[in-house]
Structure 1
Amino acid sequence: MDTFLGALVEGILHGGIYALLALGLVVIYKSSHVFNIAHGEIMMFLAYFMVFLVSSQDLPIGLSFLLVIAVGAGVGLACERIFLRPLIGKPMLITFMVALVMGILIRSIAILWHGGAPQTIALFPSGYIRVGDLSFSSTLVWSFVIALAMFLLFMLVFRYSKVGLGMRCVAEDHQTSQSLGIDVKKVFALSWAIGGSMAAIGGVLLGSLTIVDSDTLGLFALVRALPVLLLGGLESVPGALVGGLIIGVTEILASTYIDPHIHGFRELLPFILIVAVLMITPHGLFGLKRIERV
């Protein structure tokens, strides 16, 4: 029983972090209908920037984290302005390919700048937090707390603020929003800035849990976020949270009970789950089914 309960709680902790990784993708896709395949590489780049501030500039961890979030917003704005804004109205395949090239470029810059050598981020004190007979990595617990806090903060802003109202209007219909006086291009830029800041938080948290490596961190982040995104729905903010928790729990349970017998099943199970869900509901658990007039 303790083994199951421990795996369940650990899965929830991982799932909250996975939800944050997917949130940046949801925000960008919801407003601009661009699937930012470069999101993982942006996370990796910003994690390296965190290493640079802490190791090379000797800045405090907290200040460095805030600076990385601000730089992440700037990176998101730059990506939208330079690469994606000229492609507004173009077919989705073109924007996808441009985002793919953008990710390759960002990864190349990170390698040239930092040499691509693996680094570590000591964001939280090492050790374990005990709850009864169970113990969990303090880094994992505090990463979950930050991820959940950022997720809930965004949901409050998105639901109740004027900025959030504009984003929701643009997500529903670009042309109608423009006719109502909403500056759609500014909303696009804001969405990419928020997506960039989410990438910064996710990249630093993920780097503190694993290692910051130009070869693996970006891909690892994307592979963890993609099942969450597809399961919850490409345009659903609550779906990202629910999808993250489901993926996290199934992954850790598979690691605990199935991986000892079928090695690597932990990595495979989320995608099996996605295929099963999408066969039943192609838009994900919370995705919107758009009705097109002909």
Structure 2
Amino acid sequence: MQYPLSPDVKPEFCTTGSFMRLPSSRDNAKIAIVGLPFDTAASFRVGARFAPQAIRQASMLLFPYHPIHKVYPFEDTNAIDIGDVSVIPHNIHRSYEIMQASMLDLMSKGIVPIGLGGDHSVTLATLRAAAKVYGPVALIQFDSHTDTWDTYYDEKYWHGSPFIRAHEEGLLQPDKVFQIGIRGTLNHPGDIDASLELGYNVITTPELKKRGMEDVVNQVKEAIGDTPCFFTFDIDFVDPAFAPGTGTPEVGGFTSLETLELVRSLTDLNYIGFDLVEVLPPYDPAQTTSLLAATLIHDFAGLVAKKMGSGTK
């Protein structure tokens, strides 16, 4: 049977709950959807633990072919959905161990995981797994916040600190880290400087608007080259008018169209994993945010399929 299932095989509303009704296993899988429903590290709004379910539900509105990349992202990669990792809501460190083990198992088999968060703390677990397989990796981070703040109420592990912890643990190649779309009010003038001092490349929303998409994309591609690269996408990169269902919204962001164009332009990189985080279904009554998130997951898979050279028609 061909996957994703088309509506003339079974109506979209008849589903087992996987992303676009993907199977949980099949031979030669190159992509795996993985739910990471941990949100105990959020600092304000909570509810991202329900995002994997909501994104999967919204994915029923998608069709299998990607007309921009000219691929079938999930069919060409024999993609699977292995369900949610069984995290422990009140224990971030044990949850990290569980998430890391799941991601390490996939990456060790050459499978590209696409994680459905969860708050942004979950990315640290995946980067730990990636470093064990690939060594320190490059990072593309779409976000309105740098998430390089050290502590929160003296706690070092929360959704505002994954990328300072990743630097301390040697998981990243700092000169190949790009934090794109940073904007909004700050606690103090040095917030962005914290990332720059780590050696990261910070491209704020005003800078991206001024320089233009093509110039920024060319910089990213030139710097990263063929280095194994992880792509993490915080949905608050998008303006809350287009993605209201998130924990720490920042106005003055990008439209859904601008976001898709930017992601789709980041082709030909050596992606070894993705995640999409900080979707909060309780603040997303019309599924606007979840549908955009599902579309971005489709795009991530399209980038992998295109890199594989599996273009069709």
Task: Return the TM-score normalized by structure 2.
Answer: 0.21
RCO higher in structure (CA 8 A, sep ≥6) = 1
**Structure richer in strand, relative to its length:** 2
Task: Return the TM-score normalized by structure 1.
Answer: 0.22
**Structure richer in helix, relative to its length:** 1
Which protein shows a greater Rg? 1
